[in-house]
């Protein structure tokens, strides 16, 4: 049994014991960039199929459905609590101007490193758009603090989390009508395109004041139930997808090493989020890893998302995936623990 399998088979009591204790924040602010794994409601008002503002999403969240693609908290929520913030970091679309100084969540479901990624789903905030919104927020912070120099010193102490790239494969390279792209563009070539763009984006954030980066690799998305269903495999993962993602992740590791060398006053950590690779099994002990907890759509742009009915698995704390792509709250807790192990080096 692999590490993740052992980890997830710990008693559910661990879930309650591992919650962070609110106190003085370990960073003065926390800025979050990414896709649906970290989205907390930015897509709610957009014309897109990538939304989670309906039941059963949020069935275990205190405020109910908010736009989080989970039954409860996502990894960014847990991290905010672990870092000592009194509240979750608010989405860009609803954050109050006076609160931006503590941080903003720009993550948008369906978004990617490339601007065209996710266009099959509808509107979304691409990574470039998220950075533009952050530039706008910095202007608000400067107004609140009344001193540009003080603002830059403030931003250099903040945590910047970036978790993006999954949709560049799910809803681009391996997306609808992308067969011709894969014929003409190899996984290595596509990964190079992504890395070149990603490098520009991280340098852009650096120029805007970011110094403490937590950059996540792309998870093994070929193991998601929706991808396994689409490819008709009984194995735990779709190898073709994971192989392509691994090419990007290897290049990203080299990129982070290069940025560490060139940007001497910046710090980068690289959390690795993964799912179990255990062969053609549907569960390990009491943990179900091969099936989603909710009833999911199997066709069209909502493929893999929960159907809008208040029906879920009987024991949500025994499932790895809530829908066809996204983790349950329990899984997000453990993913956040892996992220905190490396984020602690930035404090």
Give the side-chain half-sphere CA count within 13 A for 12.
Answer: 12
Residues 188 and 196: their CA atoms lie apart, in Å, by 12
In the residue annotation, 36 being an active-site residue is answered as yes
In the residue annotation, 140 being an active-site residue is answered as no
Axis crossing angle, helix 187-207 with helix 239-262, rounded to the nearest 10: 40
Residue 190 and residue 244 in contact, taking contact as beta carbons nearer than 8 Å: yes
Q: Which of 35, 36, 60, 336 is catalytic?
A: 36
In the residue annotation, 111 being an active-site residue is answered as no
Token readout for 98 is 């006076």
Q: Which of 111, 126, 326, 336 is catalytic?
A: 326
Q: Which of 46, 65, 45 is nearest to 55 (CA)?
A: 65
Task: Report the 3 state secondary structure along 40-83.
Answer: CCCCCCCCECCCCCCCCCCCCCCCCCCCCCCCCCCHHHHHHHHC
Residue 343 and residue 159 in contact, taking contact as beta carbons nearer than 8 Å: yes
Token readout for 122 is 């509808």
Q: Which of 60, 70, 323, 336 is catalytic?
A: 323
Residues 50 and 287: their CA atoms lie apart, in Å, by 27
Q: Are strands 30-34 and 103-105 parallel, antiparallel or unpaired?
A: parallel
Residues 22 and 86: their CA atoms lie apart, in Å, by 6
Give the helix ranges, DSSP H, for 156-219: 166-168, 179-184, 187-207
Q: Which residues are catalytic?
A: 36, 323, 326
């Amino acid at each position: 049994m692999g590490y993740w399998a052992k980890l997830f088979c710990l008693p559910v009591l661990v879930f309650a014991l591992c919650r962070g204790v609110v106190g003085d924040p370990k960073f003065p602010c926390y800025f979050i960039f990414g896709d649906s794994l970290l989205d907390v409601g930015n897509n709610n008002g957009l014309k897109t199929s990538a939304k989670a503002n309906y039941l059963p999403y949020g069935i275990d969240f205190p405020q109910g459905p908010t736009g989080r693609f989970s039954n409860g908290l996502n990894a960014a929520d847990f991290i905010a609590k672990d870092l000592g913030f009194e509240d979750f970091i608010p989405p860009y679309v609803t954050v109050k101007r006076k609160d931006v100084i503590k941080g903003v969540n720009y993550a948008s479901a369906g978004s990617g490193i490339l601007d065209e990624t996710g266009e099959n789903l509808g509107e979304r905030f691409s990574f470039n758009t998220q950075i533009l919104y952050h530039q706008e927020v910095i202007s608000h912070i400067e107004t609140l603090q009344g001193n540009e120099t003080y603002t830059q010193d403030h931003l250099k102490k903040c945590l910047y989390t970036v978790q993006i790239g999954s949709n560049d494969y799910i809803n681009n390279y391996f997306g609808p009508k992308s067969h011709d792209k894969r014929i003409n563009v190899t996984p290595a070539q596509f990964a190079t395109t992504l890395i070149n763009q990603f490098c520009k984006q991280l340098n852009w954030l650096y120029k805007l004041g970011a110094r403490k980066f937590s950059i996540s690799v792309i998870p093994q998305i070929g193991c998601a139930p929706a991808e396994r269903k689409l490819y008709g495999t009984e194995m735990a993962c779709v190898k073709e997808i994971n192989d392509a993602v691994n090419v990007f992740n290897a290049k990203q590791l080299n990129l982070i090493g290069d940025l560490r060398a060139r940007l001497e006053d910046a710090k980068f950590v690289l959390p690795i989020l993964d799912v179990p690779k255990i062969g053609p099994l549907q569960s390990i002990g009491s943990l179900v890893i091969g099936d989603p907890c909710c009833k999911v759509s199997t066709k069209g742009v909502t493929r893999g998302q929960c159907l809008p009915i208040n029906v879920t698995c009987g024991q949500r704390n025994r499932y790895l995936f809530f829908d066809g792509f996204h983790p349950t709250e329990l899984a997000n807790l453990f993913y956040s623990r892996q992220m905190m192990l490396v984020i602690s080096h930035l404090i």
